[in-house]
C-alpha cells in the first residue's frame, strides 16, 4: 500500500462517523440522499446498492431526530432535494423527516426537500420496496444474501455485495414473492 493514500474517517459514534463519510463525498451532481436508523443495519444494506449506483449518501440517524451535524449537512448541500427514509418508525421516527424538511427552509436559497419513507411490515417487505426503485426487469445481475435476522454478522456478505451496485435481495432460507415481483 505504499502508493496508496490512506485516510481514516471516524467519529465519536456511528452517527458522527456516518456524516463524516458523507462530508467526504463529492455530492456536487447528486440530488438525493437516504437516511437509515442507527440500528437499522439491514435497511442500510438493502439500500446500499442503489446509493452506490447514484453516488448518493446514506446518513445514519438517531431514531428521534437528526443530529446537529446532520442538520448542517442538509442545510449546506442545497442540491439535495429528495430524501428517502428507509425503514419504519421503529428505527426512524417521523421527527427525522420533519427535521430534514425544516433543513430546506433553513437553506440560503430556502429550497423544499421532498421527504418520503420506504418501509414494509418486515425486512423482506422493506427490501422489496427498495428493489422496486431499481429499473424493473432490466437488471442483468441480482445478488441474494442473508438478511441478518438470526445473526447480524451475516450482513457482511450484503455489505461486500452492495459495492457492486446490483439489486440485493435479502432473504432467509427463502425469499418472498414480493421480492421476486419487485425485480421481474
- Helix 155-162 to helix 41-54 angle (10° resolution) is 10
pLDDT for position 107:
86
Q: Is pLDDT above 80 for 136?
A: no
Read off the pLDDT of residues 90-107 as tens digits, 9 standing for 90 and up. Answer: 999 999 999 999 999 888
Averaged over 10-15, what is the pLDDT?
Answer: 96
pLDDT for position 1:
64
Grid cell of 113 as nine digits: 426537500
Residue 97: phi and psi, rounded to 5, are: -65, -40
Averaged over 161-165, what is the pLDDT?
Answer: 83
Q: Is pLDDT above 90 for 18?
A: yes
pLDDT for position 143:
85
Amino acid at each position: 500500500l505504499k502508493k496508496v493514500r490512506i485516510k481514516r474517517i471516524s467519529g465519536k459514534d456511528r452517527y458522527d462517523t456516518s456524516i463524516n463519510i458523507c462530508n467526504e463525498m463529492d455530492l456536487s451532481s447528486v440530488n438525493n440522499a437516504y437516511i437509515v436508523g442507527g440500528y437499522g443495519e439491514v435497511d442500510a444494506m438493502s439500500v446500499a446498492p442503489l446509493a452506490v449506483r447514484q453516488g448518493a449518501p446514506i446518513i445514519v440517524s438517531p431514531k428521534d431526530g437528526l443530529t446537529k451535524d446532520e442538520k448542517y449537512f442538509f442545510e449546506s448541500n442545497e442540491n439535495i432535494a429528495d430524501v428517502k427514509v428507509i425503514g419504519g418508525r421503529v428505527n426512524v421516527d417521523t421527527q427525522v423527516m420533519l427535521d430534514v424538511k425544516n433543513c430546506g427552509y433553513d437553506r440560503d436559497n430556502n429550497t423544499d426537500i421532498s421527504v418520503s419513507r420506504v418501509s414494509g411490515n418486515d425486512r423482506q417487505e422493506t427490501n422489496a420496496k427498495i428493489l422496486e426503485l431499481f429499473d424493473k426487469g432490466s437488471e442483468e445481475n441480482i445478488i441474494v444474501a442473508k438478511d441478518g435476522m438470526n445473526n447480524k454478522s451475516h450482513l457482511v456478505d450484503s455489505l461486500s455485495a452492495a459495492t457492486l451496485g446490483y439489486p440485493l435481495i435479502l432473504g432467509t432460507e427463502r425469499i418472498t414473492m414480493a421480492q421476486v415481483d419487485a425485480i421481474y
